[in-house]
Structure 1
Amino acid sequence: MKRDSRLSGVLHVLLHMAEQPGPHTSEALAAAMATNPVVIRRIMAGLREQGFLRSQKGHGGGWTIACDFSRTTLRDIYHALGEPEILAMGNRTDAPGCLVEQAVNAALGQAFDAAEAILLQRFGEVTLADLSADFHARMSGRTALPTLENEHGS
Structure 2
Amino acid sequence: MSRDSRLARMAHVLVHMACNHGAATSDVIARMLSTNPVVVRRTMAGLRDRGIVTSEKGPRGGWRLTRPLEELTLLDVHRALETVSVFTIGPTADHPECPVEHLANQAIVGALAQAGTALEAALAQVRLSDILAEGQALRAARDADGPHVCPNTARGAWS
The answer to whether the superposition gives a TM-score over 0.5 is yes
CA displacement 1:79-121 (0-9 Å, x = unmatched): 1111342111112338722111112111111111111110011
Alignment identity in percent? 37
Q: Partner amino acid for 2:29?
A: L
Kindly report structure 1 stretches of 4+ aligned residues shifted beyond 3 Å: 146-151
Between the two proteins, the alignment pairs up a number of residues equal to 153
Q: Partner amino acid for 1:27?
A: D
Q: Partner amino acid for 1:113?
A: A
**Structure of greater relative contact order (alpha carbons < 8 Å, 6+ residues apart):** 1
What's the CA shift for 1:143?
A: 3.3
1:47 partnered with 2:47: yes
Q: State how 1:44-123 maps to structure 2 within 5 Å.
A: 44-93=44-93, 96-123=96-123
Q: Structure 2, unaligned stretches of length 5 or more?
A: none
Q: Structure 1, unaligned stretches of length 5 or more?
A: none
State the match for 1:14 in structure 2. Answer: 14
Contact 1:73 1:124 in 2 (8 A): yes
- Give the distance between the partners of 2:57 and 2:39, measured in 1 at CA: 17
| Partner SS, residue 23 of structure 2 | coil
What's the CA shift for 1:147?
A: 6.8
What's the CA shift for 1:75?
A: 1.2
CA displacement 1:30-87 (0-9 Å, x = unmatched): 1122211011111112212222112211112111111121121111111111134211
Contact 2:70 2:128 in 1 (8 A): yes
1:138 partnered with 2:133: no
C-alpha RMSD over aligned residues: 2.4
Indicate how the Cα distance of structure 1 residues 88 and 116 shifts in structure 2: closer, same or farther if over 3 A, else same.
same
Indicate how the Cα distance of structure 1 residues 13 and 124 shifts in structure 2: closer, same or farther if over 3 A, else same.
same
TM-score (norm 2): 0.85
State the match for 1:3 in structure 2. Answer: 3
- Give the distance between the partners of 2:109 and 2:115, measured in 1 at CA: 10
